[in-house]
Amino acid sequence: MTAFLVFASRRLAGAILTLFLASVTVFGSIHSLPGSYADVFLGAHPTPQVKARIEETFGLDRPLPIQYAKWIAAAARGDFGVSLVTQKPVAEEFALRLPVTAELAAMATAIAILAGIPLGIWGGLERWRFVSRLSRLCGSLAISVPDFVIGSLLIYVFSHYRLGLTVGTWVSATSNPLGNISAALLPSCALAALGVGFVMTTARHATISIRAMPWFLAAVARGKTAPAIVREHVVKNAAIPVVTIIAIYLGYLLGGTAVVESLFTAPGIGRYIVEAVQLRDYPVVQAGVLLAASVFIGLNLVADLVYAALDPRIRV
């Protein structure tokens, strides 16, 4: 138990140090970008009076170490400051946008699972060679074609032929649940393409390797039906790599939705942070990166602790 506590303390200290370094890096990076918030705000018509007023209002006239200390002390208390653009608390702005990104990520993951696993297993069984090849081709295409290309294609087809789904604008779930699904479906599909490719390819490879196992041949020899073999042997044994790839894909989605959100005008957190970088809205960018870093560092910490709890050799 003592060894575990020592291990956990060391990992926790490491996580705090990493988080501190991440906070310094994001703060330093965003503030070192050419063009300050006041510069971008005033554009071609800067007047010294207005610039000074803006910098004083938001404390941007103070030395950077002081600005950092003030920000990190407040962030440690859960106060991420106020957006320079909207002058509303950053936490409030995030709370408005996080559900949109979460919804898109959840729908994309669901599509990836529902489409990728059956297609992958079907392709891996190679019952019909044509289907197997087609699934391999589709998997490669889905992985290699960027989501914004797929998104643009979907936008064109669904708007040009007016196929019924909402295109180019967002509908909130609270105001119109059905309209929300209609608006979220296409961006989710664009995001899901990569996931379908990953899941399909992983499931296919897992199925192929399962087919080579002696117990698979034994099941066939026993005269089990194909659906029973898939259900009882293939799905269970392919689950581990598939679940792993889904977890990785979900992690990617939480930070990788910005382009698709912009393309489909979905007011998610990714798009918000990208636009904040362009406007030099420091508190928003800092909070966004710090939160993402906290999540990843936190998950890593939990994983380390779980591994250590399961396997005592790791604590050494």
Partner 1 sequence: MLDRKSRSLCGLTRRNVLAAGASLAVPLFIGSGARAATGGTLVWGKSLEMTMLDPHTALVGSAWQLQYLVYDTLVTMGDHFEIQPGIAESWEQPTPSTYVFHLREGVTFSNGRAMTAGDVAGSIGRVVDPKFGSWWACQMGSVKSVQAVDAKTVKIELNEPFTPLLPSLAASMTAILPMKELQEGTFNPSKELMGTGPFMVTAHQQNDYWTLTRNPHYWRKGYPKFDEVSIRIITDDGARLAALQSGAIDIANFENPDAPKLLQGATNVKTAIQQTGDLYTLALNPVWDQSPFRDQRLRQAVNLSLNREQIRDVALSAQGTVSGVAAAVFKDGCTPTVARDVAKAKELAASAGGLSFAMVVQTSEAIQRIAQVIQQNVAEAGIKAELNVVDEGVFVDKVFVTGKFQASPFFWSAYADPGMVAAWWEPSVSGFTGKYVVSVPELNDLVHAERRTPNGLERTAQLKRICALVDDGAQMIPLVTKPVTVGYRSDRIQADIHPFEGYNDTLRHIAEFSRV
Q: Which tokens is 186 given?
A: 């296409």
Distances (CA, A) of 253 to 45, 173, 283: 39, 20, 23
Q: Which tokens is 202 given?
A: 């992983």
Gap between the Cα atoms of 132 and 102, Å rounded? 33
Query: Smallest distance, Å, CB 309 to partner 1?
Result: 44
Among 8, 22, 91, 96, binds partner 1 (CB under 8 A): 96
Angle between helices 90-125 and 177-211 (to 10 degrees): 40
Interface with partner 1 includes 27 (CB under 8 A)? no
**58 and 259 in contact (C-beta within 8 Å)?**
no
> Mask: binding to partner 1, 137-156, rule CB under 8 A, as x and -?
---------------x--xx
Query: Smallest distance, Å, CB 93 to partner 1?
Result: 7
**85 and 272 in contact (C-beta within 8 Å)?**
no
Interface with partner 1 includes 33 (CB under 8 A)? yes
How many residues of this chain interact with partner 1, rule: CB under 8 A? 47
Interface with partner 1 includes 176 (CB under 8 A)? no
Interface with partner 1 includes 305 (CB under 8 A)? no
Q: CB nearer to partner 1: give 96 or 173.
A: 96
Gap between the Cα atoms of 169 and 104, Å rounded? 14
Q: Which tokens is 146 given?
A: 């960027």
Beta strands (DSSP E) in 50-146 are: none
Among the candidate windows 45-53, 112-120, 131-139, 305-313, which touches partner 1 by CB under 8 A?
Answer: 45-53
**259 and 147 in contact (C-beta within 8 Å)?**
yes
Query: Smallest distance, Å, CB 28 to partner 1?
Result: 16
Q: CB nearer to partner 1: give 53 or 127.
A: 53
Query: Smallest distance, Å, CB 264 to partner 1?
Result: 6
Q: CB nearer to partner 1: give 34 or 63.
A: 34
Q: Which tokens is 69 given?
A: 């200390």
Instruction: With H, G, I as helix, E, B as strand and everything else as coil, classify residue 1.
Output: coil
Sign (positive or negative) of CA dihedral 16, 26, 307, 109 = positive
Restricting to residues 258-277, name those near partner 1 by CB under 8 A: 262-265, 267, 271-272, 275
Neighbours of 85 (CB within 10 A): 17
Restricting to residues 50-89, name those near partner 1 by CB under 8 A: 50, 53, 83, 85-87
Among 146, 168, 298, 312, binds partner 1 (CB under 8 A): 168
Residues that bind partner 1 (CB under 8 A): 33-36, 39-50, 53, 83, 85-87, 93, 96, 152, 155-156, 158-160, 162, 165-170, 262-265, 267, 271-272, 275, 278-280
